[in-house]
Structure 1
Amino acid sequence: MHTTETLEKIQLLQSFPENRENAYTVGFSHDGQRFAAAGGLRAAFIYDLHKAKPIGGLLDHSQSIYSVKFSKNGKWFFSTGRDGKVMVYDAEKFDKIAVLLPEFDLESAPPQIIPNFTLALNPDQTLLAVGASGGVMRLYRTDDWSLHKVLPLHQGNIRSIAFSPNGELCATGSSDRMVKILDGNTFEELQTIEGHGDVVFSVRFSPDGKTFATGGKDARLRIWSVDGKKFTPKVKLLAHTFAIKSMQFLPNAHELVTVSQDKTIKLWDLEKMLATQIIDKTCGGHAFTINSVDLSPDQPHMITGSDDKTVKLWKIS
């Protein structure tokens, strides 16, 4: 029956309690064999998919970590957060490669700390994008970690950045309720998209680049069709009862996972615009706000991080 099939799509494999504080961010390595989780404890934990406990921890931040990311080329691992630092590590041995610090206005007294909320790499891995407080996006060159551009884009904090699969577009979501679409090469602003009533926590392009999704504090999921640089609205849906904190497309490009402050994980069929699976605490899900979700590159696994201080590993069939 249909109900049995949906129950089998995403299954819990293991819970990891090591954070001891809220887990704000999770991310898989390029080969899907490792993943990282971090949050309020100020430590980034590294896990091996086949081991029951973390294989190591990184303790270079002085405040909460809001974003972790492995590069798709397998070379680097990044973390950033409230202290404004971006840590760059070797993704195999986790040796420190660089520490990227935002410039400060030396005339301001005292100088303002600039929290960073999100990280993204363009598809050819030549630029690291950092979304920060004050609506600023910074771009760093990955060949020498020099600052490439500083772009004042929003009136509020940038909470999410995504590149289209071909690298031609870059999208940002902000606490000013706006989504900006930029040229992925020149970073010239192409379009401002309105449509959320509050903070935009997550922006994502589908793996085939033909669909664009946004989710935010207003609990709404918005879907656009993408043709070249043209965005056509398709659906606006009240998808959760509280904020959508993060989301990821499945490789098939027509399924999307959303996680929410309402403590649920939802799997969406975007062709039918129906939630085909809803996971809450009674199904092995989280007890509090779910902040982050990521899928392994080859899809069989998913990780989620929550304010219940756990990270959960799931199998996708």
Structure 2
Amino acid sequence: MVKLIHTLADHDDDVNCCAFSASLLATCSLDKTIRLYCLSDFTELPHSPLKFHTYAVHCCCFSPSGHILASCSTDGTTVLWDTQNGQILAVMEQPSGSPVRVCRFSPDSSCLVSGAADGTVVLWNAQTYKLYRCGSVKDGSLVACAFSPNGNLFVTGSSCGDLTVWDDKMRCLHDEKAHDLGITCCDFSPQPVSDGEQGLQFFRLASCGQDCHMKIWMISFTHILGFELKYKSTLSGHCAPVLACAFSHNGQMLVSGSVDKSVIVYDTNTENILYTLTQHTRYVTTCAFAPSILLLATGSMDKTVNIWQFDPGALCQARIPEDQPEQFVEDWSEDDVSDWLCAQGLKDLVDIFKMNNIDGRELLNLTKESLADDLKIESLGLRSKVLRKIEELRKKVKILSSGIPDEFICPITRELMKDPVIASGPYPRHMEVSRLGV
């Protein structure tokens, strides 16, 4: 379940962006201001709103520590604020003077990227506030940016529809035509996906655009093996341009906001729609998940920001599809194993299994010793429960692969019945006993 728990209506114009830290929510607007709210009760901080920009504020983002907030504006500046007192730490002017549309901190807080309407992208040193590197895309305005979770690359999106991938030295690694009519937003999932065959780690990247679609990409980059980008899928839940997208803190959910005034929450693994939220009365321009709690913020041209709270079970909505043959457990991916754990009430083990790259084949080979020694599951009761569930899987795999009709299988133990009885009639004393010669 997801429910609307609060609505903020303090801005005087369209809300362009919202961002979370561990304790704060920041929002910015066409009204030239940035507002800060406490997550405990959504009261506005005493030093809010933050005022400096002379034109619309397009984007805001927190440093990973949450102590610094960056904002950028049509006035051509990116400003760094101290979130504890609202004081300005630095004003960084785009070299070209062009309106700045997007800004993002690197995961280690060492760098900040700002992208402008003339296609220039600047990598700033976030400690010295000095320009480190500068580049540009071949066409269009820069309107989107996201760092990979490990910080060794970042992606920018342009109004011409191009995704451009840069390494941490500002070298262009790849350019991809991603969306007709232009990109509007992009975001990386914080959780990597492992390629079992080659042992590579891929990161999911979501991009959305004016073509009404959201696309999922898989990106891998190491200095030894180089760069790889794979198109994975297209999500078409909206009927109008998609303006914003964001992954949840554990990568299990993906949210999008659209010109159709709706917000759609997807299950990342199955790509099924979990929720469609329709409370905004105008275009949904921004959405963001909190970094460690089940909160979602959505902002709109209706001048409001809605705060949504998810039930703790929401991140484990995914289930193994009913039509997925269980004899193919050996072919399960790590995400399929995560879904299975959630379905068995073992969602607390998802991170442990993912960290150890447990896919279907590895799952079926787990033993009491490997659970204790390799996966470091200390609880005896938890290890026993996992083993029981795995044993049930093994029995199902064995039975389904043998081709034995289900009516010959005990519905309780799931073992082959050697001497079954069939009861019929309205009363226990009216019983027919039939023996199958098995």
Spell out the pairing of 1:125-274 with structure 2 (5 A cutoff): 125-183=109-167, 185-209=168-192, 210-228=203-221, 229-274=227-272
Equivalent residue letter for 1:290: V
2:57 counterpart residue number = 65
SS at match of 1:165: coil
Corresponding residue number in structure 1 for 2:34: 44
Q: Give the partner amino acid of 1:133.
A: A
Runs of 4+ in 1 over 4 A off after TM superposition: none
Alpha-carbon displacement from aligned partner over 1:158-202 (angstroms, at most 9, x marks no partner):
11111110112211111011001111x222111111131111011
Equivalent position of 2:19 in the other structure: 27
Inter-partner Cα distance in structure 2 for 1:53 and 1:91: 15
Equivalent residue letter for 1:172:
T
2:129 alignment partner, SS class: coil
Alpha-carbon distance between aligned partners in 1 of 2:174 and 2:92, rounded to the nearest angstrom: 29
Task: Give the partner amino acid of 1:47.
Answer: Y
**2:296 corresponds to:** 302
Amino acid paired to 1:288? R
Structure 2 residue aligned with 1:78: 70
In 1, distance between residues paired with 2:293 and 2:68? Answer: 21
Q: Which runs of 5+ in 2 are unaligned?
A: 193-202, 222-226, 312-438
How many residues matched? 294
Task: Give the secondary structure class of the aligned counterpart of 2:118.
Answer: helix
Write the distance in 1 (CA, Å) between the matches of 2:235 and 2:8: 32
Could you tell me which residue of structure 1 aligns to residue 397 of structure 2?
Answer: none
Paired with 2:149 and 2:53, the residues of 1 have a C-alpha distance of 31
Aligned mates of 1:98, 1:172 — CA distance in 2: 23
1:239 Cα offset (Å): 2.9
Larger Rg: 2
2:284 aligned to which of 279, 290, 300: 290
Maintained 8 Å contact 2:142/2:159: yes
Give the match for residue 119 of structure 1: 103
Q: Which residue type is aligned with residue 253 of structure 2?
A: E
Question: Kindly, what percent of the aligned residue pairs are identical?
Answer: 24
Pick 1 or 2: higher relative contact order, CA cutoff 8 A, min separation 6. 1
RMSD of equivalent CA atoms: 1.4
Cα distance, 1:52 vs structure 2? 5.0
User: 1:53, CA displacement in angstroms?
Assistant: 4.1
1:315 to 296, 309, 316: 309
- Amino acid of the structure 1 residue aligned with 2:251: A
1:5 is matched with none
Alpha-carbon contact 2:62-2:105 (below 8 Å) kept: no
CA distance in 1, matches of 2:94, 2:235: 37
Question: Shift in Å at residue 96 of structure 1?
Answer: 1.1
Tell whether the 8 Å contact from 1:154 to 1:176 is kept in structure 2 after alignment.
no
**Does 2:80 correspond to 1:88?**
yes
Q: Which has the higher strand share?
A: 1
Give ranges in structure 1 of 5+ residues lacking alignment.
1-7, 105-112
- CA distance in 1 between counterparts of 2:257 and 2:16 reads 12
TM-score by length of 2: 0.65
Q: How far apart, CA to CA, are the structure 2 residues paired with 1:48 and 1:126?
A: 26
Letter of the structure 1 residue corresponding to residue 282 of structure 2: F
